[in-house]
């Protein structure tokens, strides 16, 4: 069934709106949906950075920055969530902006290593700066989102269902922003940069500027995602944002596929849902990731989102002359 | 006060030589296969556990256990090269991702098989040697000696033997080397084997000095990458220099601050190197 782009979006939006209501009595599934949403935000942002060929292995560092910013502002400085949340994204983006220009000059595997070490440095700073972040033990009792009253409707975001909708709301906003960037003239420029940096530069594209811009935008959303995590988990410590977290996001992106916009969404959803289905064997969960990753790397390089195309291709090959749309 | 510093220097050199052994293997694979073997740290970890089980459970003498571990992981490395990395040799991104998959796989299996708690290899050479005011633990002294011996051996192999020169050739230009009649596949396998063996020995040494845990591989791979960046990719002397410098940082800074601070300083240095002089101290490629 070939889905047009609009139909695909509508179907997705429908799932997003209906799923929480359908599962509203199942706390466990709501939690899974919340985590799915947060993972989709992070994976899509990673893909945005990857559209210019930058493999970032320290992305969780910016989630960590966002998370601690939001947590500290609400916990220690008495900020309301609605102020702390955007600030989380902005602080993460500010840090990214400071380091962006020197960082994006580095390319390829060196950029991956650079971001890996950046991630580690941020995590270690969180551990070391005990007075601010609580070090290894971390922060506890982070305030939940609180409740709002709008036009006589009282919504308490402390409970799972409204929080799930909020996460999905942020997710949709993130996806729309990233999608517009992808499809716009900016997106074409970025595609040009990824294809061939030197040629792009020779036609007057300021490669460094665009890479830095994308890096900052991606980190903004990572910061927001961090804040969402912090207020969902209500506790934080340095290990929440380790190298492995970054690696998982990377695996989600690779498994889903980097080329298509829907790739990271597919990857994040599939890889968040599948381990939850195997919940009984918690120790064995990472093995599922490994299996999916190897399957994609050796058999379906373009990612799971490419599966429909691959299947269509196979059908065409085995039934030449048959109409392509089933 | 000086005693503290000298003690720090000695401890730093002991850790430093372990970092060198890890980095040598990593650098070898990077130069010859053209990939960053991210799972190198897991080979170090598995090597350490082989030594543990041979030594503590099997009551095999430590040196022999190291040799067994080196052989086992060396063969393991060759198998990995044949099965996984040969197909994606030279393609950096899929190789890193595949290696990341391996890392997850090995760590998960290790936690399941060995348990999550830290284990210890009892002191192989108990006691200390007193030199001036400095107490050199014999275990650490052994690590330094092993590091020196193995590095020199590798150096000699590469400079003097035919195989070594073949490895140099492949690292410079695999196609030209193939034209010269060098079997690039065999050299690749050999490099993975040697690199993995070195990592296994490093793991065993670290196990005897400190401890073993299923996640020790993450520590090793980050240190290993840091060393080859500092020392310069493609340079063995660079790996030695980089490893010893980072070892000294880890040995000295905790005297004035903390272990975490030492790691922060070390990694910030690496970040600076990547930004300012990606070639590293002695790199040439």
pLDDT of residue B195: 93
Q: What is the pLDDT of residue A147?
A: 67
Q: What is the pLDDT of residues A115-159, one digit of tens each?
A: 999 999 999 888 888 777 777 777 777 777 766 666 666 667 677
DSSP code per residue over A66-96: HHHHHHHHHHTS---HHHHHHHHHHHHHHHH
Is a pLDDT exceeding 70 seen at residue B243?
yes
Q: Are A297 and A258 in contact (CB under 8 A)?
A: no
pLDDT at A92: 93
Nearest to B104 among A109, A290, A297 (CB): A290
Burial code of A145-180, b = ≥16 C-beta within 10 A, e = fewer? beeeeeeeeebebeebbbbbbbbbebbbebbebbbe
Q: Please report the pLDDT score of residue A9 as a whole number.
A: 79
Nearest by CB to A283, from B102, B111, B267: name it: B111
Q: What is the nearest CA distance from B21 to chain A, expressed in angstroms?
A: 20
Write down the pTM of the prediction. Answer: 0.88
Please list, residue by residue across A216-233, b when 16 or more beta carbons sit within 10 angstroms of its beta carbon and e when fewer do.
bbbbbbbbbbbbbbbbbe
pLDDT at A280: 61
The pLDDT assigned to A150 comes to 65
Q: What ipTM was estimated for this complex? A: 0.87
Burial of B50 (0-12, 13-18, 19+ CB in 10 A): buried
First to last CA, chain B: 42
Residues 6+ apart with CB under 8 A from A268: A36, A39, A40, A42, A43, A44, A252, A256
- Residue A15 in domain: yes
Structure letter (DSSP) for residue A259: S
pLDDT in tens, B112-169: 888 878 888 887 777 777 777 777 888 888 889 999 999 999 999 988 998 888 988 8
**Which is more confidently placed, B188 or A138?**
B188
Residues A271, A32 contacting (CB under 8 angstroms): no
Judge whether A325 lies within some domain.
Answer: no
Say yes or no for a CB contact (<8 Å) between A109 and B278. no
Question: What residues of chain A score a pLDDT lower than 70?
Answer: 1-4, 146-155, 157, 278-280, 320-326
Name the H helices within chain A: 5-22, 27-50, 59-75, 81-104, 108-128, 130-133, 160-183, 185-195, 197-202, 207-233, 243-256, 262-277, 285-299, 307-318
| Residue whose entry in the numeric block shows the structure tokens 């000059």 | A105
Average pLDDT of the segment spanning B198-219:
90
Task: Answer yes or no: is A324 within a domain.
Answer: no
**Structural domain of A30:** 5-318
Position A108 in a domain = yes
User: pLDDT value at position B73?
Assistant: 93
- Write out pLDDT tens, residues B73-119: 999 999 998 888 887 777 777 888 889 999 999 998 998 888 878 88
**B15 backbone dihedrals φ, ψ, rounded to 5°:** -60, -40
By the 8 A CB rule, do B239 and B231 touch? yes
- The minimal CB distance from B101 to the residues A117, A120, A294 is found for A294
Residue A52's pLDDT is 75
B222:A243 CB<8 A: yes
Interchain CB contact of A131 with B (< 8 Å) = no
* Continuous H helices in B81-183: 92-114, 138-160, 162-172, 174-179
What are the boundaries of each domain within chain B?
21-221
Question: Are A121 and B111 a contacting pair at CB < 8 A?
Answer: no
Exposure letters A1-14 (e unless 16+ CB within 10 A, then b): eeeeeeeeeeebee
CB contact under 8 A, B101 and A290: yes
Q: Half-sphere exposure of residue A189, counting CA atoms within 13 Å on the CB side?
A: 17
CA distance B244 to chain A (A): 19
Total domains, chain A: 1
């Amino acid at each position: 069934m070939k889905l047009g782009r609009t139909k695909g979006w509508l179907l997705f939006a429908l799932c997003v709106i209906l799923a929480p209501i359908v599962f509203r009595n199942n706390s466990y599934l709501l939690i899974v949906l919340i985590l799915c949403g947060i993972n989709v935000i992070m994976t899509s942002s990673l893909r945005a950075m990857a559209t210019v060929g930058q493999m970032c292995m320290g992305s969780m560092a910016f989630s960590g920055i966002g998370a601690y910013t939001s947590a500290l502002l609400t916990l220690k400085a008495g900020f309301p969530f609605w102020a702390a949340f955007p600030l989380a994204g902005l602080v993460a983006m500010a840090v990214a902006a400071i380091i962006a220009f020197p960082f994006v000059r580095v390319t390829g595997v060196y950029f991956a290593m650079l971001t890996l070490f950046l991630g580690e440095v941020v995590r270690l700073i969180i551990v070391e700066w005990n007075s601010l972040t609580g070090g290894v033990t971390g922060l506890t009792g982070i305030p939940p989102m609180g409740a709002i009253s709008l036009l006589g409707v009282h919504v308490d975001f402390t409970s799972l269902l409204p929080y799930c909708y909020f996460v999905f709301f942020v997710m949709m906003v993130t996806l729309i922003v990233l999608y517009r960037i992808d499809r716009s003239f900016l997106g074409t420029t970025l595609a040009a940069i990824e294809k061939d940096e030197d040629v792009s530069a020779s036609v007057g594209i300021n490669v460094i500027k665009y890479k830095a811009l994308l890096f900052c935008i991606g980190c903004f959303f990572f910061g927001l995602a961090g804040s969402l995590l912090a207020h969902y988990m209500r506790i934080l410590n340095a290990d929440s944002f380790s190298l492995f977290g970054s690696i998982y996001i990377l695996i989600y992106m690779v498994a889903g596929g980097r080329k298509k916009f829907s790739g990271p969404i597919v990857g994040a959803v599939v890889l968040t849902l599948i381990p939850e289905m195997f919940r009984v064997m918690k120790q064995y969960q990472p093995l599922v990731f490994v299996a999916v990753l190897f399957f994609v790397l050796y058999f379906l390089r373009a990612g799971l989102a490419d599966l429909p195309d691959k299947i269509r291709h196979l059908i065409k090959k085995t039934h030449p002359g048959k109409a392509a749309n089933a | 006060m000086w005693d503290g510093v000298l003690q720090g220097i000695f401890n730093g050199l002991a850790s430093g030589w372990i970092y060198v052994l890890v980095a040598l293997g990593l650098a070898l694979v990077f130069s010859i296969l053209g990939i960053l073997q991210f799972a190198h740290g897991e080979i170090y970890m598995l090597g350490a556990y082989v030594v543990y089980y041979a030594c503590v459970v099997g009551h095999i003498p430590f040196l022999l256990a190291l040799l067994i571990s080196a052989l086992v992981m060396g063969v393991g490395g060759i198998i990995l090269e044949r099965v996984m990395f040969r197909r994606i040799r030279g393609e950096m991104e899929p190789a890193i991702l595949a290696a990341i998959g391996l890392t997850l796989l090995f760590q998960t299996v290790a936690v399941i098989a060995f348990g999550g708690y830290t284990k210890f290899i009892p002191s192989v050479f108990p006691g200390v040697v007193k030199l001036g005011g400095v107490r050199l633990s014999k275990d650490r002294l052994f690590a330094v000696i092993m590091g020196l011996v193995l590095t020199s051996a590798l150096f000699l192999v590469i400079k003097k033997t035919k195989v070594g020169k073949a490895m140099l050739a492949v690292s410079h230009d695999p196609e030209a080397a193939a034209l010269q009649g060098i079997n690039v596949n065999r050299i690749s396998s050999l490099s993975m084997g040697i690199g993995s063996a070195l990592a296994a020995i490093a793991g065993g040494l670290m196990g005897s000095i400190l401890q073993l845990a299923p996640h020790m591989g993450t520590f090793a791979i980050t240190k290993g990458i840091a060393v080859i960046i500092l020392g310069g990719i493609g340079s063995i002397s660079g790996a030695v220099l980089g490893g010893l410098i980072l070892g000294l940082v880890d040995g000295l800074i905790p005297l004035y601050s903390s272990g975490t601070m030492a790691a922060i300083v070390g990694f910030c240095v690496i970040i600076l190197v990547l930004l300012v002089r990606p070639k590293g101290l002695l790199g040439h490629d």
